[in-house]
A and B are shown apart, each in its own frame.
Chain A
Amino acid sequence: MSKKVLVVDDDPDVRSFVVTVLEENQYMPLVAQDGIEGFEMIEKEKPDLVILDVLMPRGSGIRLYRKLKTKETLNQIPVIMFTGIALRSFLKSQKALDEFNGEEVPEPDVYLEKPVEPEELVAAIKKKLG
């Protein structure tokens, strides 16, 4: 059975692009438009991989990512961050949150800064899912 990949992004253009890339490579795409819908979908569908935008309305990708990684039943799901925010700023912000909360939320498995070529995205997904 083909593997399930969830795309969480508020931009419909990004969603249709990623969905097409996934279909082309024999994955089963799922979509959500914001952080809250994304988390519900993860709990319900238990996808094999999540492709996640950072700044979105309703609960942002940061909140969703940290919730996911600190929940034991879900923290093994690999995450590809797919965003316009620079990696350095993102990591810095996460490190500060970690230190204060005494948590150790692992860095995302893959971090892609938009714009991303289809081949790059496929390579990242394959690396995680084979």
Chain B
Amino acid sequence: MSVNKILIVDDEEIIVKLLSMSLRSDGYETVTALSGEQGLEIFKSESPDIVVTDIKMPGMDGLELLKKIKEIDVEKEVIIVTGHGDIDSTITALQYGASDFINKPVRDEALSIALERAKAKIDIREKLKEYTENLEFKIAEATDEIRRKSNFQRLLIRSSTDAIVAFDHDWKVVVYNPEAAKMFGEAAKDVRNKMTIDDLYTPKIAKIFKNQAKDGKQQNTFSWRENIINTKDGRQIPVRYTSNVLHEKGEFVGTVNFFQDLTEIKRLEKELVQSERLAAVGQTVSGLAHYVKNILIGLKGGSYVVDVGIAKNDTEKFKTGWKTIKRNIKRVGDLTQDLLTYSKQREPAFELCLPNDIVDDVIELVKDTAESKDIFILKEIDNSIGEIMADPQTIHRSLLNLINNAIDACVEDENISKKHIIEIKTYRDQNNYFCFDVKDNGCGMDEDIQKQLFDPMFSSKGGKGTGLGLLVTSKLIEEHKGVIETKTSPGKGSIFTIKLPYGKANKG
């Protein structure tokens, strides 16, 4: 790819003009903005290849712009022009993924070196992108196929290869084409002029057409509807159907029904949803690769420590190394489970369970980790919640996930004088949902993080998070027809609430 468009952002117009002129004479196309906000707008409308931005600007500053740009496209090259020598903003810029730093006043030479580097990086990324694009191509294919199928369906109507069934004024079948025979599974010779609407259709479907005829002239026809028909031989077929009431000289003479079998379209739609989900996972690939690399580092380090333990017959060493290995094996296991959960449809497996006991189990799992980080875990249990019908896995995994996040929020908190506490509370709300709160007094989240909480590519934990945790949790909760809510304030902590509907015990 050839790089040619560069966005320059600086609140000083003269700098923008000079840079722009110099870059244009080097053969680049430039677009400019005089503030972070304007920069973001232009970034969105012009999609430049490289962005060069000043850090300090009134309103949205360069760091915020960098962050916003990386949210839109994590692979965009952003060069930070700094003149402020501030460690904090440099660290932040590194964390947000700035690709280069140049100092003010900007020298042409420094800038062109930085641009050359950015260009080289873009070239390499182009190749990596092909993988993701391949997935996009598959989605495009599936979409196309759906379109073709639906065109095909229209063609069928025209050439009367829909399932067509018509009745006379006594509701006896008079028209029943081969497609209808296929759909309803009854041979034409047994149906035509022999069966009535009640013999052919289930009562639910028959009623729809009878009511239509009763309603008189204004309901002579209705637009296509969808339904599932149950055939006499026990098949369930998703269909689109319409129906016309026929009159002759004002007299009701019969009804004609058209059915289209949607089985294939439904299947393709499902496939499309699946491949979209796969593409989202594809986009997390670079984040995942980083995460897997970290696990590998852990495993290699651990096996080295174990080797030393074996060679020296040193049990303590052996135990330490083994702990590292086990911890990292568990990370692989968790990651795999998250990926599977996220990429597959899963029906919640309802069974009798004791949610308060699950809370105890989960606390037991995280107790040691929390203690080692000086975090205190409190629980407040509603003892009136006994056995309920719910999916224990959903409760277990989402609770574990939220508590682990709460622990991370406490560890990341810069305020070291704080005594960190995580509170877990179970209760029933006014809708009689089973609810649990996980509340921490850790670092909290700013508005930007909150907005992206449930995005697949997003992790605020650097290489330490897969960016799948909350996504998986919210998917589990959604499948359980529950809700997940967040309240947070930066520096003060967060509270996550999960509310789940459940069935009563002793009925199952």
Most B CB within 10 A of own CB, among A12, A58, A63, A93:
A93
Residues of B within 8 Å of A24, CB to CB, are: 308
Asked if B412 is an interface residue, CB under 8 A from chain A, the answer is yes
Count of chain A to chain B residue pairs whose CB atoms are closer than 8 Å in the complex: 95
Asked if A76 is an interface residue, CB under 8 A from chain B, the answer is no
Complex contact B90–A118 (CB within 8 A): no
Asked if B321 is an interface residue, CB under 8 A from chain A, the answer is yes
Scan B282-319; emit 1 where CB is below 8 A from any A CB, else 0. Answer: 00000000100110111011101100100000000100
Complex contact B301–A17 (CB within 8 A): yes
Beyond A13-B302, A17-B302, A62-B90, is A114–B297 a contact (Cβ under 8 Å)? yes
Asked if B175 is an interface residue, CB under 8 A from chain A, the answer is no
Shortest distance from the beta carbon of B258 to any chain A beta carbon, whole Å = 63
Beyond A13-B298, A17-B302, A63-B87, is A93–B324 a contact (Cβ under 8 Å)? no
Shortest distance from the beta carbon of B414 to any chain A beta carbon, whole Å = 7
Asked if B82 is an interface residue, CB under 8 A from chain A, the answer is yes
Complex contact B90–A16 (CB within 8 A): no
Residues of A within 8 Å of B93, CB to CB, are: 93
Give how many B residues have a beta carbon under 8 Å from the other chain's beta carbons: 43
Shortest distance from the beta carbon of B194 to any chain A beta carbon, whole Å = 77
Question: What bracket does the count of chain A residues touching chain B fall in?
Answer: 20 to 34
Complex contact B91–A62 (CB within 8 A): yes
B residues 85-109 in Cβ contact with A at 8 Å: 85-87, 90-91, 93-95, 98-103
Asked if B416 is an interface residue, CB under 8 A from chain A, the answer is yes
Complex contact B103–A99 (CB within 8 A): yes
Asked if B411 is an interface residue, CB under 8 A from chain A, the answer is yes
Q: Which of B80, B83, B414 contacts A58 (CB 8 A)?
A: B414
Bound: A12/B321 CA distance, A: 11
Beyond A55-B462, A93-B101, A96-B102, is A36–B416 a contact (Cβ under 8 Å)? yes
Complex contact A17–B324 (CB within 8 A): yes
Beyond A58-B416, A95-B101, A96-B85, is A20–B305 a contact (Cβ under 8 Å)? yes
Bound: A36/B98 CA distance, A: 25
- Chain B facing A: main interface SS: helix
Shortest distance from the beta carbon of A54 to any chain B beta carbon, whole Å = 8
Asked if A97 is an interface residue, CB under 8 A from chain B, the answer is yes
Q: Which of A55, A62, A96 contacts B103 (CB 8 A)?
A: A96
Bound: A23/B304 CA distance, A: 12
Most B CB within 10 A of own CB, among A13, A14, A66:
A13
Beyond A13-B302, A55-B95, is A97–B297 a contact (Cβ under 8 Å)? no
Beyond A17-B304, A96-B103, is A89–B94 a contact (Cβ under 8 Å)? yes
Asked if B84 is an interface residue, CB under 8 A from chain A, the answer is yes
Shortest distance from the beta carbon of A88 to any chain B beta carbon, whole Å = 8
Asked if A85 is an interface residue, CB under 8 A from chain B, the answer is yes
A residues 51-102 in Cβ contact with B at 8 Å: 55, 57-58, 60, 62-63, 66, 84-85, 89-90, 92-93, 95-97, 99-101
Which residue of the partner chain B has the closest CB to A61?
Answer: B91
Shortest distance from the beta carbon of A7 to any chain B beta carbon, whole Å = 12
Residues of B within 8 Å of A97, CB to CB, are: 85-87, 90
Most B CB within 10 A of own CB, among A17, A84, A118:
A17
Bound: A63/B87 CA distance, A: 7
Shortest distance from the beta carbon of A33 to any chain B beta carbon, whole Å = 10
Bound: A101/B86 CA distance, A: 8
Most A CB within 10 A of own CB, among B91, B93, B103, B301:
B301
Asked if B320 is an interface residue, CB under 8 A from chain A, the answer is yes
Asked if B465 is an interface residue, CB under 8 A from chain A, the answer is no
Complex contact A14–B301 (CB within 8 A): yes
A residues 7-44 in Cβ contact with B at 8 Å: 11-14, 16-17, 20-21, 23-24, 36
Bound: A66/B80 CA distance, A: 21
Which residue of the partner chain A has the closest CB to B462?
Answer: A55
Complex contact B94–A85 (CB within 8 A): yes
Bound: A84/B291 CA distance, A: 11
Asked if A130 is an interface residue, CB under 8 A from chain B, the answer is no
Q: Which of B82, B321, B463 contacts A16 (CB 8 A)?
A: B321
Asked if B426 is an interface residue, CB under 8 A from chain A, the answer is no
Bound: A99/B104 CA distance, A: 9
Asked if B119 is an interface residue, CB under 8 A from chain A, the answer is no
Shortest distance from the beta carbon of A5 to any chain B beta carbon, whole Å = 16
Q: Which of A57, A89, A96, A114 contacts B412 (CB 8 A)?
A: A57
Q: Across the A-B interface, give the 7 residue pairs with the lowest CB-CB distance, nearest first.
A: A100-B85, A17-B301, A96-B101, A13-B298, A115-B297, A101-B85, A92-B101
B interface list, Cβ under 8 A from A: 80, 82-87, 90-91, 93-95, 98-103, 290, 293-294, 296-298, 300-302, 304-305, 308, 317, 320-321, 323-324, 327-328, 411-412, 414, 416, 462-463
A-B contact pairs, 21 of them (CB 8 A): A13-B298, A13-B327, A16-B305, A16-B321, A16-B323, A16-B324, A17-B301, A20-B305, A20-B317, A57-B414, A84-B294, A85-B94, A89-B98, A92-B101, A93-B93, A95-B103, A96-B90, A100-B86, A101-B85, A114-B297, A115-B293
Given contacts A17-B305, A20-B317, 20 further A-B contacts (CB under 8 A): A13-B327, A14-B297, A16-B301, A16-B324, A17-B324, A55-B94, A55-B95, A58-B414, A62-B90, A62-B91, A92-B100, A92-B101, A93-B93, A96-B82, A96-B102, A96-B103, A100-B84, A101-B85, A115-B300, A118-B304
